[in-house]
Structure 1
Amino acid sequence: MLSNEKIMDLITQAQSGDIGAKEVLLTENLNLVRSIVHRFTNRGYEWDDLFQIGCMGMVKAIERFDLSFNVKFSTYAVPMIIGEIRRFIRDDNPIKVSRPIKDIAYKVHKVQEFLRGSLGHEPTIQEIAEKSELSTQEIISALDAMQPIVSLYEATTNNSGDQLLLLDQIASTNDEIDCLEKITLNEVIDRLSEKERYVIRMRFYEDKTQSEIANQIGLSQVQISRIEKQALKKIKNFL
């Protein structure tokens, strides 16, 4: 552990252009970055990617730290690292949200955090609106727009504890059936095995869920899921 005086000295050197001093500070604070990154795991991002973003936040903290601050460098660096990671996650959203909406959502989250502490419970939309001076519609729209995207291939479990994909729980729509008909998949489907053809036709032509198909032919939903995936892979290769 570096002493506070040594840290201040290294920051002075780093801000004067000393790359070596900046690298020493970054290396000495990697455990701090790791501890913060662990807060953001299980959100669909690779740990290494978040760690790199966290290191960028640490570098920014080194470059921007005001030596006249009466606080420890780590106290200043933590919110800088957290902010950098949150900004990355927010901006990486595949559905692009306008900057004004993002600003409103950020303001709402800050007000939510404040009210949780002052009220001792999860604030209502009306309470947030009164504190933030925003309309309830603005708040709801901003929060809806910033909801994280859930992949259809995200793992879930059924009542029996079997691991399945979220996609497996959704019945096919008529639009999907029409799509299959438009691209004339009948010829390709005929090249599948009898069991694969049955599962594909039930899933995409008869609008059956995997559970319904499993009950009809006496197999488990997991087995139906495997058959479907294998059949779709074959169809893709044939096409």
Structure 2
Amino acid sequence: MLTKLNSERDALIENNLGLVHACAKRFKGKGIEYDDLFQAGCVGLVKASDSYDKSRGFAFSTYAVPAILGEIKRMFRDGGSIKIGRTQKEKAISLVRLRDELTKTKGEEPTVYELADYAGLSTFETAQLLNAVIPPMSLTVFDSAENERQMDLIGYDSRADMTDKLSLHTSIESLPEEEAKIIKLRYFSGMTQAQVAEILSLSQVQVSRKEKTILKKLRGII
């Protein structure tokens, strides 16, 4: 019975990804990358599939669209990042540990499909859970000559220990609210300093100075 329920849930998700695209397109070009909008919408789709009760007589799409839009709108309120609960974060950390154990046992890193199979989760949920807690990003840091250079902190192709990435993400979340917003808007949402300044009611010079200070602070974590 449990397997049947999981299969029905996965089918609901896979068959309604078009709803996520339709909702995400409404917000395209408004300051957040489309892939991030789609990812947030998928979180809403998963939540809707978990709580949908077809016995109530309405279509899944009617139930899912508000949940999808809610998660996308939440991204704009949160400065472009996806918030997940403590339980989900703990599940993600468990997945990371399982991945590391399988890597040691097999001598190679498991695919998302293999990891999902071992964890007893759908491939979609496994990917979304990890992507939500570990978003890909790059930060521009400054050397002694104040010249900009790119440093990839978190990326899908990195082979660095994912637990360290989780710690870095947590460090960004622990910054003072204004500092965290500056980093999220600049490097998660891809906004210019001028755009960030307008949103936070600061001058561009203030944003530039604050950004340099925050990045230097984060360099101590890397």
TM-score by length of 1: 0.31
Q: Which has the higher contact order (CA 8 A, sep 6+)?
A: 2
* Greater Cα radius of gyration, structure 1 or 2: 1
TM-score by length of 2: 0.33
